[in-house]
Structure 1
Amino acid sequence: MCVITALTAQNTLGVSAVQAIDGEFVLAQLNAISADVQIDAIKIGMLANEEIIRAVNGWLDTVDAPVVLDPVMVATSGDRLLEDEAVLDSLLDRASVITPNLLELASLLREPAAADWPQVLDQARRLAAKHDALVLAKGGHLAGDLCPDALVSAQGVLAEFSNQRHHTKNTHGTGCTLSSALATIYASGGDWASALEQAKAYLFRAIGAADELNVGRGHGPVNHFAHFFSEADPMDQWWQQIHELRGSIDNLEFIAQLADGTLDPADFEYYLAQDALYLQRYAQVLAEASALAPDLDAQRFWAGSAREILEGELQLHRSYLAEGTANPSAITLNYVNHLAASKRSYAELIAAILPCYWLYQDIGKRLASANHPEHPYKQWLVTYASEEFDLATERAINMVRVAWKQADVDLRERMRLAFVRSSEHEVAFFDQARRNRVEFSTA
């Protein structure tokens, strides 16, 4: 059930006007609901002025239910949504849980915003003590790849949950969604920590699917119905489709000997020489993906990946290689030619690029377990088992997923084939050092 306290004129670019509802009419809405329906939890969001707050305060005297108060004072866009913050104090004392964002938390304490997570937790603890309530500390506005949230009492942290950050601009409604989900789930379960864990998981899915909606030119909404109308994830299907191929990689002599450190340095150097030649062309392909990308976030990601290869990965390869030059093998040329042939569309191209992230991450994670300080190829193994490479792979997978969902049937099939063909090329690429040794010995 919902009671409207204010009308807003807004879009994905911001709020242009706010029209508060008359306090008496807000109270009439509240009384109509509570006279008829049992209320198990209350979530309070935007209250534009003191008149409305007095109306809500008076109504709360007539009901008995836990209150989740989202003190909506400043929108993510920076727009102010409350005339006078001080009038909220009387309502804060009634709350079971208070859910401010970073700026609102600082504003309620009349102090500067926290700069890091420990400061957020400290501010949340002091706000909890001030109003004898739990406070949901939120780290989404902090820098970093993780988004922590914690339920905090006057005594300290009761529960803390963290997710990887979704790299999307479409986060409109995250605070409202989380507080509403928290109240709803608590009403059915009666445990705040469990309710937060489930609410955060729901919001994580909603943000992850936000790009599928493609709404507006600014900060679009999260996808509240991602869980209800989700189809089978094409990325899971693609990964299963190359299951046997992935198994064949583990059986390659090159991979087995790389894992246990017995790989002949000449074989490793041959592989690296071919990989260095491949990476030079691959960096160009990533730059081309950046040029074709439909939005700034994707453009920056692919361009940044190209730069990292030229400035980082190629330098690592050269640190292993002896002086000299090598010519690209037929296998290397076939792979780069396949990538070049996939440039008919952005979606097809990034599907062809994906195995160079996903398969290397998968192999790197498994080879990392064989890593030890004396391993001759330790530096190379660490690169593909790092948290940074995990995050880059996750972003690449999600970009391909989003492109697939926006594609027609014909383009989806071309994407799938491009992904499978690149995966097949990866197997041949790993095996080429052995083939070269056999051919050389025969010759």
Structure 2
Amino acid sequence: MTTETTEHLQPAGEHTARMWEQTADIRARIEQLPFLTQLADGTLDPEKFAYYIGQDTHYLDDYQRAMLLIAARAPIAEEMRFWAKSAVGAIAEEKEMHKALSTDRTLQQFDLTNVQKALPTFAYGSYLVASAATDPYPVAATSVLPCYWIFADAGRRLAAAAVVKESGADHPYATWAHAYGDEGFQSITGQAIAIVERALTDATAAERDDAMEAFRRATRLEELFWEAPMGGEDIRRVV
């Protein structure tokens, strides 16, 4: 098993450093969300996790669409290949993990096949697709970065907190926690950060400002997405 640490993935330059700093308040709240803290210590209600997995399946469909749109607009082949590979490969791996989780003893009591998309999921996915389709490339690429970076940051901390045996048998959410703490996902996230840094270096001042706002908006949507499983019917309401 890969050894994880709680060290943050570092910014790739001044622009990504600025957006990381400017979302410190949201990220501090995310670290304290009951969904994540209970997920880390293994006490999370299985129904809450099942709800999250169902919503994440919907979200991944939108995220994949967004990355394919960004790939088509990438200015250089290297970046086009990164976004396309992430859309096809990384998302496919995550969906396979969802499939495996659906047969896990913790979740098999829940039907994850007909989950309706809730409002926070709709808002987040729709925003990313819209940004990918209509915003300048530096802004669009920045809008999808929080899903990499915030997930990788949370995953690294979760994996460190989830003290498990090699089999993970003594922690109900070990598979999920370690998937996001894995060095492979951390490496992909580092590449995404570097691509966004390069895009913002070449961007106009107005595009950089819009990108900073996009990063903060998407980070806030990440927070809402992780709040939803612990909420009542109001926040879980379907579209």
TM-score in terms of structure 1 length: 0.46
- Check whether the contact 1:279–1:309 (CA below 8 A) recurs between aligned residues: no
Q: Which residue of 2 aligns with 1:240?
A: 21
Alignment of 1:218-237 (within 5 A): 233-237=14-18
Deviation at 1:308, TM superposition (A): 2.0
Residue 268 of structure 1 is aligned with which of 49, 66, 88? 49
Q: Deviations over 1:120-170 (max 9, x none)?
A: xxxxxxxxxxxxxxxxxxxxxxxxxxxxxxxxxxxxxxxxxxxxxxxxxxx
Other structure's SS at 2:75 match? coil
Q: Which residue of 2 aligns with 1:433?
A: 229
Q: Which residue of 2 aligns with 1:289?
A: 70
- Check whether the contact 2:63–2:125 (CA below 8 A) recurs between aligned residues: yes
- Check whether the contact 2:16–2:197 (CA below 8 A) recurs between aligned residues: yes
Instruction: Work out whether 1:333 is the aligned partner of 2:122.
Output: yes
What one-letter code is carried by the residue in structure 2 that aligns with 1:408? T
What one-letter code is carried by the residue in structure 1 that aligns with 2:99? R
Deviation at 1:375, TM superposition (A): 1.0
Residue 59 of structure 2 is aligned with which of 275, 278, 287? 278
The CA distance in 2 between the partners of 1:316 and 1:439, in whole Å, is 26
Deviation at 1:319, TM superposition (A): 2.2
Instruction: Work out whether 1:360 is the aligned partner of 2:151.
Output: yes
Other structure's SS at 1:376 match? coil
The CA distance in 2 between the partners of 1:395 and 1:241, in whole Å, is 21
Q: Deviations over 1:302-356 (max 9, x none)?
A: 1110112442101111222344311110101110121123132211111000000
What one-letter code is carried by the residue in structure 1 that aligns with 2:114? T
Gaps of 5+ in 2: 1-11, 103-109
The CA distance in 2 between the partners of 1:360 and 1:303, in whole Å, is 19
- Check whether the contact 1:269–1:320 (CA below 8 A) recurs between aligned residues: no
Report the CA distance shift for 1:330/1:437 in structure 2 as closer, same or farther (over 3 A): closer
Residue 387 of structure 1 is aligned with which of 162, 168, 183? 183
Report the CA distance shift for 1:253/1:400 in structure 2 as closer, same or farther (over 3 A): same
Flag the structure with higher strand content: 1
Other structure's SS at 1:342 match? helix
Q: Which residue of 1 aligns with 2:6?
A: none
Q: Deviations over 1:251-307 (max 9, x none)?
A: 111011001000011000000100110001111111111111111111111111011
Other structure's SS at 2:115 match? coil
Other structure's SS at 1:427 match? helix
The CA distance in 2 between the partners of 1:360 and 1:315, in whole Å, is 18
Other structure's SS at 1:290 match? helix
Residue 196 of structure 2 is aligned with which of 400, 413, 420? 400
The CA distance in 2 between the partners of 1:250 and 1:439, in whole Å, is 20
Deviation at 1:386, TM superposition (A): 1.0
- Check whether the contact 2:228–2:235 (CA below 8 A) recurs between aligned residues: no
- Check whether the contact 2:49–2:229 (CA below 8 A) recurs between aligned residues: yes
What one-letter code is carried by the residue in structure 2 that aligns with 1:433? P
Instruction: Work out whether 1:249 is the aligned partner of 2:30.
Output: yes
Q: Deviations over 1:209-251 (max 9, x none)?
A: xxxxxxxxxxxxxxxxxxxxxxx71111111111111110121
Q: Which residue of 2 aligns with 1:342?
A: 131
Residue 424 of structure 1 is aligned with which of 213, 216, 220? 220
Alignment of 1:148-187 (within 5 A): none
Report the CA distance shift for 1:418/1:439 in structure 2 as closer, same or farther (over 3 A): closer
Instruction: Work out whether 1:299 is the aligned partner of 2:80.
Output: yes
How many residues align? The count is: 210
Other structure's SS at 2:181 match? coil
- Check whether the contact 1:351–1:418 (CA below 8 A) recurs between aligned residues: yes
- Check whether the contact 1:254–1:433 (CA below 8 A) recurs between aligned residues: yes
Report the CA distance shift for 1:438/1:338 in structure 2 as closer, same or farther (over 3 A): closer
The CA distance in 2 between the partners of 1:257 and 1:389, in whole Å, is 22
Which is higher, the Rg of structure 1 or of structure 2?
Answer: 1
Percent identical residues? 33
- Check whether the contact 1:351–1:400 (CA below 8 A) recurs between aligned residues: yes
- Check whether the contact 1:257–1:263 (CA below 8 A) recurs between aligned residues: yes
Deviation at 1:437, TM superposition (A): 6.1
- Bigger relative contact order (CA 8 A; separation at least 6): 2
Gaps of 5+ in 1: 1-207, 209-231
Flag the structure with higher helix content: 2
Deviation at 1:438, TM superposition (A): 7.5
The CA distance in 2 between the partners of 1:387 and 1:357, in whole Å, is 13
Q: After TM superposition, which residue ranges in structure 1, 4 or more long, deviate above 4 angstroms?
A: 437-440
The CA distance in 1 between the partners of 2:24 and 2:223, in whole Å, is 12
**Bigger Cα displacement from structure 2, 308-317 vs 385-394:** 308-317
